[in-house]
């Protein structure tokens, strides 16, 4: 099996309880740090195609700024309406000072 992780950004670029928007292999990704952990989700709310990276982060959740849909960063599952579809969640790996993300193998395949 080939390694499909690609560099997303430096770990230091992602603030605590914050998010950075990056493009990896043509996919817009929100790289998030919450509760000391790194996460990566597709940077698009499943409800209204709004960038999640512009929303608030806390308690391993990200909130869409437009309509308030919240998503679990671990599973991509929506935690509040109006969204009812999950967002793709991607594996993240810390390598040295960099964060690597695998957009080819989402952790929640059913959301694609």
- Res 110: pLDDT: 58
pLDDT at 109: 73
User: CA angle 38-42-45, nearest 5°?
Assistant: 115
State yes or no: pLDDT of 1 exceeds 50: no
Per-residue pLDDT reduced to its tens digit, 67-88:
999 999 999 999 999 999 999 9
Beta strand spans in 1-112 (E)? 6-10, 18-24, 27-34, 37-42, 56-58, 61-63, 70-72, 89-90, 92-95, 98-101
Residue 36 lies inside a defined structural domain of this protein:
yes
What mean pLDDT value characterizes the chain?
Answer: 95
Q: What is the domain extent for residue 42?
A: 6-101
Q: Do residues 97 and 9 touch, judged by C-beta distance below 8 A?
A: no
Please report, for the domain that includes residue 70, its CATH number.
2.102.10.10
- Predicted structure pTM score: 0.94
* DSSP string of 19-33, one letter each residue: EEEEEETTEEEEEEE
pLDDT, tens digit, 9 for 90 and up, residues 8-18: 999 999 999 99
Contact 14, 20 (CB under 8 A): yes
Q: Which of 93, 48, 92 is nearest to 71 (CA)?
A: 48
Percent of the chain with pLDDT over 70: 96
Instruction: Look at residue 112 and tell me whether its pLDDT is greater than 60.
Output: no
Q: Number of folded domains in the chain?
A: 1
Q: Is pLDDT at 21 greater than 80 in this prediction?
A: yes
- Hey, what are 80's tokens? 């509040």
108, part of any domain? no
């Amino acid at each position: 099996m080939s390694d499909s992780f690609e560099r997303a950004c430096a770990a230091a670029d992602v603030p605590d309880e914050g998010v950075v928007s990056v493009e990896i292999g043509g996919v817009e990704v929100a790289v998030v740090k919450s509760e000391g952990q790194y996460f990566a989700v597709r940077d698009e709310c499943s409800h209204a195609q709004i960038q999640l990276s512009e929303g608030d982060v806390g308690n391993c959740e990200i909130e869409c700024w437009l309509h308030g849909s919240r998503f679990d960063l671990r599973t991509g599952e929506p935690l509040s309406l109006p969204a009812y579809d999950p967002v793709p969640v991607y594996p993240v790996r810390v390598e040295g000072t960099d964060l690597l993300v695998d957009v080819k193998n989402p952790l929640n395949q059913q959301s694609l």
